[in-house]
Amino acid sequence: MPPWQAAPQPAEPGSEINQLARAAVTGDEDALTRLLAAVNPLVMRYCRARLGGYRAGLQGPEDVAQEVCLALCAALPRFRFGTTPFMAFVYAIASNKVSDAFRAARRDLSTPADELPESIDDRSGPEALALDGDGVRHISHLLDRLPEAHREILMLRLALQLSAEETAQVVGMSPGAVRVAQHRALTKLRQWIGER
């Protein structure tokens, strides 16, 4: 069964995350600890989906997820219930932190190495790496051509396997509009792939 047809994982198991968030906003440190423990796996999935299998500069998905949790702690007192769903608030912070990681990676032109090699490197050479990376770059380029809203909907629906209703809460659209946007984005991607 394709991932977009699989039963979605609930973004907010019951209302536990919302209850923990309400308590954490009032200064309950135990609730904050439990809230971060509940939100962290969702944030990790989001960061892994957005960053893919590579590091953005010196930051990997785990690093970005940690920054999201730190930013969430700092922003939590400013969150107002009833204006935005709590997980939409979290995913907005995560989206900004992923964008920050990509911007930082573009500025960093260094090539980090843990240590100097002492023997011949028998891993795949530059040609094999270039061929492997070509498909990933092509897909990434096609996704970059989509409007930001369509990319975000595809990420939430396909990579994070959120339902249309859950995605609608995160992006502030109706579930029907989410389904239409997803269909249009996938149709456009198929068209571009066919043109290649």
Six-digit token pair at 194? Answer: 């066919």
What is the tens place of the pLDDT at every residue in 96-153?
998 888 888 777 666 666 676 677 666 666 666 666 666 767 777 888 899 989 999 9
In a domain, 99, yes or no: yes
Which residues share a beta bridge with 142? Answer: none
Residues 6+ apart with CB under 8 A from 120: none
Tell me, what's the pLDDT at 159?
82
* Residue 64, number of CB atoms within 10 A of its CB: 25
In a domain, 120, yes or no: no
Name the nearest CA neighbour of 148 among 108, 113, 101, 98.
98
Tell me, what's the pLDDT at 181?
95
DSSP state of 59: B
Contact 23, 31 (CB under 8 A): yes
Residues 6+ apart with CB under 8 A from 4: 157, 158, 161
Residue position matching structure tokens 């149709």: 187
Average of per-residue pLDDT across 11-15: 49
- 106 or 183: which leads in pLDDT: 183
In a domain, 129, yes or no: no
In a domain, 124, yes or no: no
In a domain, 56, yes or no: yes
CA distance 2 to 156: 15
Q: Domains in the chain: how many in total?
A: 1
Q: How many C-alpha atoms does 150 have within 13 Å on its Cβ side? A: 16
CA distance 153 to 182: 6
Angle, CA of 46, 185 and 90, to the nearest 5°: 25
Residue 148 Cα to chain centre, angstroms: 13
Residue 63 lies in domain: 13-111+134-195
CA distance 67 to 88: 17
- CATH code, 96: 1.10.10.10
Residues 6+ apart with CB under 8 A from 164: 157, 175, 176, 178, 179, 182
What is the tens place of the pLDDT at every residue in 144-160?
899 989 999 998 898 88
